[in-house]
Structure 1
């Protein structure tokens, strides 16, 4: 299994920004350079497992989310997956998706 460093870097950046943490603060807390964090976030360098663990601890996220885009340790993981899937969809596709989802949501069990 291979990993896309750009996708991993984007997930790290997103998690960092959601926590309101700067690259400098993340680097300082991990005892690495700001340039290293920047390279990871831009997909220029892979993150090793030891540093991935540190990043996840600081950002309070899971390696599962960083590596695979899912975080089953939270109740919101599927909601976030759906939101991520909708990003970049055209208005027409979103309209079609809404037409499919609406009857499901209205269905009474």
Structure 2
């Protein structure tokens, strides 16, 4: 695994911020930086210090390998999908959530029968 020669983390942070449903203002507040500084980070004009980068990675659930080596682990990819599903589910009514759960269980049952 080779370390990324030129660290381009801005697009990754922006993508994960949007996937997690945060505005720049909301994420900046959680990280304790200004929205303007976050905007500069997302445009790769500057970089956060290691403490702030660590907070970003934890808040947005980014795999550090993806940040530093531009490689996703399979667990990381699954976590991305799970996070996106959670965001969608939070915006549904209780009955819609129950329906999605029921359909997911049926899908698993069908898959198990076909194995």
Change (3 A) 1:61 1:49: same
Alignment RMSD, CA only?
2.1
Cα offset for 1:11? 0.7
Using the size of structure 2 for normalisation, the TM-score is 0.57
Change (3 A) 1:51 1:17: same
Using the size of structure 1 for normalisation, the TM-score is 0.60
Structure 2 SS opposite 1:37 = helix
Q: Identify unmatched segments of 5+ residues in structure 1.
A: 78-109
Query: Equivalences for 1:41-52 in 2 at 5 Å?
Result: 41-52=42-53
8 Å contact 2:62–2:76 — kept in the other structure?
A: no
Matched with 1:54 is 55
Give me the whole-angstrom Cα distance separating, in 2, the residues matched to 1:34 and 1:47.
12
Matched with 2:106 is none
Structure 1 SS opposite 2:57 = helix
Structure 1 SS opposite 2:68 = helix
Cα offset for 1:68? 2.1
Matched with 1:25 is 26
Q: Identify unmatched segments of 5+ residues in structure 2.
A: 79-115
Cα offset for 1:75? 6.0
